[in-house]
Amino acid sequence: MSSFSKRVWYASYGSNLLEKRFHLYLNGGRFSREHARHPGARDQALPLKPSILLKANYELFFSKWSERWGGGVAFIKPNPRMPSCWIRCWDVTEEQFFDIAAQENQLPPGHINIDVQKLVEEKRLDLGTGWYNEVIYLGEMNSQPILTFTTSSVGGHMKPSAAYLGVLIAGLKERSSLSETEIQKYLAELGGIQGEWTKPELCKVISQTVAP
């Protein structure tokens, strides 16, 4: 078996919480007319196992300005006090994870190659470029490492758009049994939302977002 065919869990926490959105990173295509086309992964096979939703000891926040979404996008930072960030774990090969990371950093599939064993040992690796330049090892589940990526440099918080929040919320509704009140509480105090979104505005987006 090729080392690249070994399986890992890709932990999503932003727009890739939504299955339809995540599949673009494997199969390619556009999410909407406003979005650029995703090339997809070299290996376009879908996950072999169902996704798993769980909480990680990280804090979700929104930063930077995305032309694609018209506002801030999701990142995470360590929060050792308690598990506070919902992550949806997708079963993919190492190669697929590398290609997802490449696309998130505006690079072509095949551009990134990570020593996963080194990552597991060191807990994080710096890709050196892109918004999602820091690859993180979050632990292990069912004998597969849980991997994700975030930014190593935060220049402040940025308000996310309703369109972006709607995709994130749809992903939570798709996979979790969280009530709309629980989703509102989860999002309300996050950096980029607190002080930028009123409770009525947030509740409106949540109530108008239909689970797939």
| 136-159 per-position pLDDT tens digit | 999 999 999 999 999 998 779 999
Residue 179 placed within a domain:
yes
Is 50 in the same domain as 83?
Answer: yes
Residue 142 placed within a domain:
yes
CATH number at residue 123: 3.10.490
Residue 157 placed within a domain:
no
Print the domain residue range for 202.
162-208
Write the pLDDT tens digit of every residue in 34-92: 778 999 999 999 999 999 999 999 999 999 999 989 999 999 999 888 789 999 999 99
Is 20 in the same domain as 99?
Answer: yes
Write the pLDDT tens digit of every residue in 111-127: 999 999 999 999 999 99
Is 58 in the same domain as 138?
Answer: yes
Is 136 in the same domain as 174?
Answer: no
Is 97 in the same domain as 200?
Answer: no
Q: Which among 150, 174, 190 is the end of a domain?
A: 150
Is 135 in the same domain as 187?
Answer: no
SS (H, E, C) the chain: CCHHHCEEEEEECCHHHCHHHHHHHHHCECCCCCCCCECCCCCCCCCCCCCEEEEECEEEEEEEEECCCCEEEEEEEECCCCCCEEEEEEEEEHHHHHHHHHHHCCCCCCCCCCCHHHHHHHCEEECCCCCCCEEEEEEEECCEEEEEEECCCCCCECCCCHHHHHHHHHHHHHHCCCCHHHHHHHHHCCECCCCCCCHHHHHHHHHHCCCC
Write the pLDDT tens digit of every residue in 15-46: 999 999 999 999 999 998 777 899 999 999 99
Residue 156 placed within a domain:
no
The predicted model scores a pTM of 0.94
